[in-house]
Chain A
Amino acid sequence: MPPAAAGQAATVFAGVYAVGAPLLLRAARRARPERLLLGALSVFAIGNAATATAPSLIALFGARLVAAAGAGVFTATAAAVAASAVAPRRRGRALSVVVSGGSAAAALGVPLGTVVGAVFDWRTTFYAVVVLTLLITLATWVDARPRPPPADAIRRSGAPVRRSEVLLTLATTMVWASGSFTFFTYVGVVLHDATGVGAVGLAAFLLLFGLAGIGGATVAGRLTDARGPRPTLVGGLALVAVALAGVALGTTVASRTAAIATTVAAIAAYGFGTWSITPPQQFRLLESGGDQRLLVSLNSSVLYAGVALGSGLGGAVLASGAGTTVVCVLAAGLEVVALSLVALGYRPG
């Protein structure tokens, strides 16, 4: 697949995921969660099978569109199902288990897919995704016997929505993602500038990022249950801001050894911090009342908007010749703005 086509296919996936998923979830708001999960996984498998066998570029784009629709609906429904499967005091941990699946993908899934694609071809990667998805669909179907949720589980669909809390939460996600992706979209350029690493070194940094992310999601879930979502977010966003400042420092250090040591610590902190944001954010939205699946999917939508905004900002900075240090400082500044949004209206206690 030509690189430009791969990039366009990724854009189609992201666009449908962000815009299409909330619309689909709104249309399917009366569907039972188990059926929605099975439907989403089936559509995702069909989309990937169609990708693997696509005879033309147009067919490939169509297939990615189908896969993205399934992925978007699955992600939002999975979070709502996980949260409603447990008692409220364990909701943060349940959300973090699902989110850690995403961080494990960063550490293992994406590199594994790349290796499979390199050893065989790109179609084999998508066939492998189909097989895995079918196995998970089968397990979900076997496990989907209707059972009553815990007595005190969330049952707020139809409850009045706390609009200001929802808007503040979504704004926080967007600013956090903007800051994060002002840096992360250009991670290869920044890390090369800071440490001189090539493709192998970058892969090692990304593995560290993903592994730290599993830890971050896990700890965030437990902290959300123990202390509440806002203190968890304050800690997570502060860590991301400090980590991005650390990467900026790494780009200015003259000694290569010191630069590598600084960058390793900063990337570990960045992975831990940035993957600790989603569980408490989803928790806040689920607590806000209204359609849980729709709110979680809107969170993903604004996240993608933040990704686009951050990528644009980072690109503009680099194009202006300001350099990678400025990219990291700008990213850290946006995380401070996100932190102040969390602090708005927060009454500790």
Chain B
Amino acid sequence: MKRILTASWSTAVRAGRISFDLVATPQNFEAGFVPLLLNAHTQAQRTERRLVWLALGAFVVASDGTLVVG
């Protein structure tokens, strides 16, 4: 069970990083996606992390109920 959870988490993190790298500035993500979310050091990293949470919020809100473009 632990192995399945670990593998699922790694896959999710990898997928998240690939997706987010599509919209992110590469130099802000040299340290990786998880360190950015858990341990952002610079102001630029903290701003990027904030945008990630806002985007995830928009994802959940748009997924719920009526889907409207925009």
Contact = CB atoms under 8 A, between A and B. Distances in A.
Interface of A: 9-10, 13-14, 17, 37, 41, 44, 48, 64, 67-68, 71, 74-75, 78, 81-82, 85-86, 93-94, 96-102, 104-106, 109-110, 112-113, 126, 129, 132-133, 136, 139-140, 143, 147, 173, 177, 180-181, 184, 213-215, 218, 221, 274-275, 277-278, 281, 300, 303-304, 307
A173 B59 CA distance: 21
Q: Which of B22, B46, B57 has the most CB of A within 10 A?
A: B57
Give the top 3 A-B pairs by smallest Cβ distance, nearest first.
A109-B63, A101-B58, A105-B62
Interface string B29-70: 000000001000001001101111111111111111111111
Given A10-B66, A100-B23, A214-B22, A71 B61 contact: yes
A230 B43 CA distance: 30
Range class of the B interface residue count: 20 to 34
Contacts of B57: 37, 41, 74, 78, 101, 133, 136, 140
Contacts of B58: 74-75, 78, 98-99, 101-102, 105
Contact of B23 (A132, A133, A218, A300): A218
Nearest to A281: B70
B61 to A, nearest CB: 5
B27 interface: no
Contacts of B6: none
A102 B22 contact: no
A219 B22 CA distance: 10
Grouping DSSP codes into helix (H, G, I), strand (E, B) and loop, the B interface class, with mixed when no group exceeds half, is: helix
Contact of A64 (B43, B50, B59, B65): B65
B68 A110 contact: no
Interface of B: 19, 22-24, 37, 43, 46-47, 49-70
A67 B64 CA distance: 9
B63 A105 contact: yes
Contact of A136 (B24, B56, B65, B68): B56
A303 B70 CA distance: 8
A109 B62 contact: yes
Contacts of A140: 53, 57
A317 to B, nearest CB: 20
A281 B69 CA distance: 13
A86 B24 CA distance: 13
Contacts of A136: 53, 56-57, 60
Given A75-B58, A132-B60, 18 more contacts: A9-B65, A13-B66, A44-B60, A71-B65, A78-B57, A98-B54, A99-B58, A100-B23, A101-B54, A101-B57, A104-B59, A105-B60, A132-B56, A139-B56, A177-B69, A184-B69, A213-B69, A214-B19
Contacts of A82: 50-51, 54
